[in-house]
Amino acid sequence: MWLSFFDAHNTVTPTEFVGLDNYTEILGDPSFISSLTTFAVFSLFIVPATYALSLALALMVHRLRFAQAFFRSVFFLPTACSYVAAAIIWKLSIFNGVRYGLANTVLGWFDGSGIAWLSTTRPPWYWLVIVTARLWLQSGFSMVILLAGLQRIPPTLYEAAAVDGARPGWQVFRHITFPQLRATSVAVVLLLVVNAFQAFDEFYNLLSTASGYPPYARPPLVYLYYAALGQGQNLGLGSAGAVILALIIAAVTVTQARWSGLGRRED
């Protein structure tokens, strides 16, 4: 925050105070606004997809009568993987765009032509690469949280529902399981939104090339990285962007928590 009020080119000990000039400059930069749009698109894809997959995995593991610990560990294991390593695997082995890449090999089995997954052509296939990588990396963590919420639901609720004639499956899930998971679900969604704001590794490692980073699909942290550590090394501008991003995350988190009633007493 202190650096954001100074002209801090190539230094962390600036002397020229510029007030709010850095904030004015970054808010007037179309590239920064575009990065926020990229985040909005990314979160629109990844938050619902991760929640749905995590909930499905949690329900499946919760109903297992044997090897529950094994499957819980298997689904959670990708969480321990480095985002950089996962992005490189996705880029070089699965979605590399060449004929013998895994994704194009599978398409070839169905007489499909190869796709340049990380190119700028339409449709923008790179979104599929980025979303699937993040989905694989973070679904296990959300699954564990939702599984803990499922284990806290009193069995007596299901017994009472069965006595009242509730049909197992969708009816029980809709009227008992899902409402009982409200607080847990809100916490999971909040974490997913914050993680989407902090997306960097998969975007940078999947889309950067020898000639630099392309102007498309540039989330806020990638923009701030190039602003602060790129050719200009404008640490003041990058710091102003970091402060703005932190305020946006705080505002979104508080708004979502209040709208969903997180922490509100049930009575």
pLDDT tens column, 12-21: 888 889 889 9
Residue 208 CB: number of other CB atoms within 10 A? 14
Higher pLDDT, 13 or 243: 243
The Cα 147–Cα 158 span in angstroms is 17
pLDDT tens column, 186-225: 889 989 988 888 889 989 888 887 667 777 788 888 888 8
Residue 81 scores a pLDDT above 80 = yes
Q: Which two tokens stand for residue 195?
A: 């993680």
The Cα 207–Cα 267 span in angstroms is 50
- Tell me which amino acid residue 123 is: P
Residue 267 scores a pLDDT above 50 = no
- Mean of the per-residue pLDDT values of the chain: 86
Highest-confidence range of 51-60, 99-108, 222-231, by mean pLDDT? 51-60
Residue 265 scores a pLDDT above 60 = no
| Among candidate residues 16, 19, 22, the one with its CA nearest the CA of residue 228 | 22
Q: State residue 122's pLDDT score.
A: 64
Q: Can you name the residues that pair with 6 across neighbouring β-strands?
A: 17
pLDDT tens column, 120-160: 666 688 889 999 999 999 999 999 999 999 999 888 888 88
Q: State residue 50's pLDDT score.
A: 95
Residue 266 scores a pLDDT above 60 = no
Section 62-89 average pLDDT = 90
* Cβ atoms of 238 and 12 closer than 8 Å: no
Higher pLDDT, 243 or 232: 243
Q: State residue 139's pLDDT score.
A: 94
Helix spans in 174-219 (H): 178-180, 182-197, 201-207
What stretch of H or E contains 52?
A: helix 30-63
Residues of the chain with pLDDT > 90: what percent?
29
Sign of CA dihedral 241, 242, 245, 247: negative
Q: State residue 121's pLDDT score.
A: 66
- Mapped onto helix, strand or coil, the DSSP state of residue 124 is coil
Residues of the chain with pLDDT > 70: what percent?
94
Instruction: Identify the band that residue 264 occupies on the pLDDT scale cut at 50, 70 and 90.
Output: low
